[in-house]
Amino acid sequence: MARRPTIADVAQRAGVSRSSVSFALNNRPGLAEETRARILAAAEELGWRPSRPAQALSLGRAGALGLVLTREPDLIGADPFYPAFTAGIESVLSERGDGLVLHVTSADREKSLYERLAADRRVDGVLLTDLRVDDPRPALTASLGLPTVVVGRAEWAGGHCAVELDDEPAYVAAVRALAEAGHRRIAHVEGPREYRHAARRRRAWERTLEELALPPGPLRPGGFTAEGGARATRELLALDEPPTAIVYGNDLAATAGLAVAHELGVPVPGRLSVVGYDDTPLAQYTHPPLASARADARGWGEAAARALGAVIADGAAPDVVLPPAAFLPRASIGPAPAAGNARPGAIRPATVPDVHLSE
């Protein structure tokens, strides 16, 4: 295998200096059109592309973004978010010929990983996802001088640029839709408390019940997992007054919940309405199809990558607010069962003020 050509080879072949090749490549002014063409032709013939490490060293930028996943592997596995999100990132990076450096780690090694990332100069900046309560990362990357974009709400960002795609409206809409369908006992199976988005979903549920003057519904931990969703559902359905609707933190837990309902002979939506979140590929094909909410993970990735690019280039970038996830009613929700003490129709859509909940 022949040694890969360098800029010197191109220069020699075109009969110019290395500087001229560089000028031609980055089409900067000051080269005769004919010379430029000759250089580019030579580069083409040799199949030359500038070496990334050399460019990185020279330019002082790596040409790559970092993404660290701190979720536990099996939590990641079931989540359709990351693949779509990284596809969105990639679509932006590929325009610039940049790359995405992915790391999967656990919470205990997380800190040293970011430190390495910063000291290494292997990436020019990082995207922070899955923000936790009291998340140390925004302050950490700030102190490391590592350009950062937070994927989530601005108030989680600790001064960094934030790219937000709100999941609250979908939860508000789901609870309202259930209330309008006559449900009065609406439960929530929440995700891990340490995640800010899980907490935000729980609060959206909580406050919407309040706003609608409905009694606070039962709450169970579901951990965003199938197992947690199944257990929580079992507990909820075993209550003296079981809920007539359950809003889950994600589709995985909701789908497991559906299975438990089937197993216990509880018809859905006849006796129980079910709502998930994520709109996994499976959601339309469960039985019955699962009401859920779709966030544009790909668009989120795109926006985040673009924002981080701006932060790296300009030192800062304005926050971005993407359209919130849309609630997708499907056949897993229906009117509250008559047997319950819900009074269908008692709450009229028009009487419900359309306020936007904020944290």
Query: Dmax of the chain from CA atoms?
Result: 89
When asked if residue 96 is in the footprint of a second copy (CB under 8 A), the reply is no
Between 66 and 138, CB nearer to DNA: 66
Amino acid, res. 205: W
Quote the least distance from Cβ 81 to a second copy, whole Å. Answer: 8
Which one of DNA, a second copy, none is in contact with 252 (Cβ closer than 5 to 8 A by kind)? a second copy
Q: How many alpha carbons fall within 13 Å on the CB side of residue 194?
A: 9
270 contacts which partner out of DNA, a second copy, none, CB within 5 to 8 A by kind?
Answer: none
Nearest approach, Cβ of 256 to DNA (angstroms)?
50
- Number of shown-chain residues binding a second copy (CB under 8 A): 67
Which stretch in 58-66, 70-78, 233-241, 332-340 sits in contact with DNA by CB under 7 A? 58-66
**Nearest distance from C-beta of residue 96 to a second copy, angstroms:** 12
Report how far residue 220's alpha carbon sits from residue 205's, in angstroms, rounded to the nearest whole number: 13
Q: How far apart are CA 319 and CA 322, in angstroms?
A: 10
Contacted entry of a second copy, DNA, none for residue 23, CB cut-off 5 to 8 Å set by kind: DNA
SS3 content of the chain, % helix, strand, coil (to 5): 45, 15, 40
Distance CA 26, CA 279 (A): 44
- If one asks whether residue 48 binds a second copy (CB under 8 A), the answer comes out as yes
Contact between 48 and DNA per CB under 7 A: yes
| Span of 25-33, 63-71, 127-135, 145-153 interacting with DNA by CB under 7 A | 25-33
Q: CA 284: distance to chain centroid? A: 21
- The answer to whether residues 123 and 65 touch, using CB atoms and an 8 Å cutoff, is yes
Go through 315-342 and write b for each residue having 16 or more CB atoms within 10 A of its CB, e for each that does not. eebeebebebbebbbbbbbbbbbeebeb
From the list DNA, a second copy, none, which binds 26 (C-beta under 5 to 8 Å, kind-based)? DNA
Is the distance from CB of 253 to CB of 201 less than 8 angstroms?
A: no
Binding site for a second copy (CB under 8 A): 1, 4, 47-49, 51-54, 56-57, 62-64, 69, 73-74, 76-80, 82-84, 86-87, 90, 94, 97, 99-105, 109, 113, 116, 119-122, 145, 225-227, 229-230, 252, 255-256, 258-260, 262-263, 280-282, 284-288, 298
